[in-house]
Amino acid sequence: MKKKLNISAHPIEARVSHHEMKLPPMMAELYRRADAQLRKRPQTKKSNAEGTKSAMDSPRLLHELQVHQVELEMQNAELQESRDRMEVLLEKYTDLYDFAPVGYLSLDEQGRILEANLTGAALLGIGRSQFIQRRLPSFVTPAGRPSFLAFLKKVFSGLGKQVCEAALLREDGAPFWASFHGTSALSRTSPRKWCRVAVSDITALKQSQEAQHRLEALAVANQELNEEIVRRQAVEESLKKSEQHSNLLLEQSRSLQAELRHLSRQVLQAQEEERKRISRELHDVIAQTLTGINIRLATLKKEAGVNPRSFDQNIARTQRLVEKSVDIVHQFARDLRPAVLDDLGLVPALHSFMKRFTARTGVHAHLTAFAGVERLDPARRTVLYRVAQEALTNVARHAQASRVDVTIQGLPEGIRMKIKDDGKSFQVERVLHEKGGKSLGVIGMRERLEMVGGCFCVESSPGKGTIVTAQVPHSNGKVDRESLDSSPRSKAKS
């Protein structure tokens, strides 16, 4: 009885609890919140004109209606708030997806475009509605299509994130370079495979790389050009030096040619002078002697029977003229080619010549000879003889000397001959370059020695006389001018 009174005393609360038990938890929570909000509102006073019969049901119905109204208001507010949040999220999604700085594409295994953002469509210069369901490989240039298809194959094989670079063609045919980053994905609504691909324009990067490559190539080319310039400058400098050397050689050749022509004229002139001398000697000496012999023979023919004693004296004088003529002929022969040089050797030939030289000029001549000089070939012995002959002739003509020493030394590299006098000195360079034939003897000595690979040197100083040095090699080689120092091994005097 007491329990019934409690229920009837609070019919609205009992109704509310019963209503909450039939609602789902979320709706029951909404109902409680609406009921709590309704209780906070001020209640309107009821008129006493209402009947006693509706006094029990009207508050309950009114309360439930008011609760439902509050529920609707709260749901409407929540829906409005949810819509506002959805609009904000949609705006963020649109900003992040459609207006992202890179293109987002969803592709199937054939490369067909399932979804794309506005950036991806803008990269290829085509509207998104026309972009969907087209195959992305058709936008790749033919050269890069195999690598792009291999990229898709790797993406769908589930090997993780894959990267690819390829050249694409926009709808208007303009090319650009794109970078692809792809990963495989699973669809909750469809069993078919698809993948996500991010596309970005790397044309500027490629251009900068190409520019960098061109700069590196230009740097290499510039380096090679600089090296080529340096090489050509070196070649040009070498050519200049070669040209200068060639000009110097040409000038020397011209000078030598002029000297050779001058020497040839001097030789011809010397030959003519020698022929004139020989002709004069033959005419003045031999011819006169032979004429005298002829006259005496004629006289002897007439006086043969008249004066026998005078005949014997004339015969004796005629014999002396004949002997004198023979000596003169022998002298000519010795001057032209001494037979003792070929028969006995260089040392006896020089000894004989120097004896006649002393007897003719009064200049004391002393010979110190190396016995091994006779092992030289005839050509080299002849050269040394002619050099000594010419040097002694010059001493007799110009040196005004009282003594001359001829020394022949044996060296490891050859034979050296020195001819030293105590006469007056002369300027060697001036004489060597003097015109008029005065230096012909010195030039002839030098030319003879160079013909057999030898070398020649003349030294002359005031108070010390003149030293003529000639050196010849043992064989057909050449000797060095700096190797002119040794001591004699044996001596011979004249």
Residues 6+ apart with CB under 8 A from 385: 338, 341, 346, 349, 350, 353
Here the tokens at position 300 are 């002897």
Residues 6+ apart with CB under 8 A from 288: none
Which helix (H) or strand (E) segment holds residue 197: the answer is strand 193-201
Could you say which DSSP state residue 135 is in? B
Here the tokens at position 273 are 């002078």
Tell me if residue 306 falls in helix, strand or coil. Answer: coil
User: Other CB atoms closer than 10 Å to residue 291's CB: what's the count?
Assistant: 11
Q: What angle do CA 418, 423, 424 make, to 5 degrees?
A: 115
Tell me if residue 315 falls in helix, strand or coil. Answer: helix
User: How many residues comprise the chain?
Assistant: 494
Query: What's at 410, amino acid-wise?
Result: G
Yes or no: say if 420 and 443 are a contact pair by the CB < 8 Å rule.
no
Tell me if residue 448 falls in helix, strand or coil. Answer: helix
Residues 6+ apart with CB under 8 A from 89: none
Question: Which residue has tokens 């194959």?
Answer: 153
Q: pLDDT tens digits, the chain, 494 residues: what are they?
A: 333 333 333 444 444 444 444 556 666 676 677 777 767 766 554 444 444 445 556 777 777 777 788 878 888 888 888 888 888 877 777 777 777 888 888 898 888 998 888 888 888 888 888 888 899 999 999 998 999 999 999 998 888 889 999 999 988 888 999 999 999 887 666 677 889 999 999 989 988 988 999 999 999 999 999 999 999 999 988 888 888 888 898 888 888 888 777 777 676 666 667 666 776 666 666 666 777 777 767 776 666 666 666 666 777 777 777 777 777 776 666 666 677 788 888 899 899 889 989 998 999 999 999 888 888 888 888 889 989 988 998 888 888 889 999 999 999 889 999 999 988 877 766 666 665 545 567 877 888 888 888 998 988 888 788 999 999 998 766 655 554 544 333 333 33
Query: What CA–CA distances, in Å, run from 219 to 213, 229, 253, 451?
Result: 9, 15, 48, 60
Sign of CA dihedral 365, 366, 368, 369: positive
Yes or no: say if 474 and 414 are a contact pair by the CB < 8 Å rule.
yes
Concatenated DSSP letters for 77-111?
HHHHHHHHHHHHHHHHHHHHHTT-SSEEEEEETT-
Strands 175-186 vs 193-201: parallel, antiparallel or unpaired: antiparallel
CA distance 20 to 31: 7
Give residue-wise pLDDT tens across range 287-327. 667 777 777 677 766 666 666 666 667 777 777 777 777 77
CA distance 109 to 151: 11
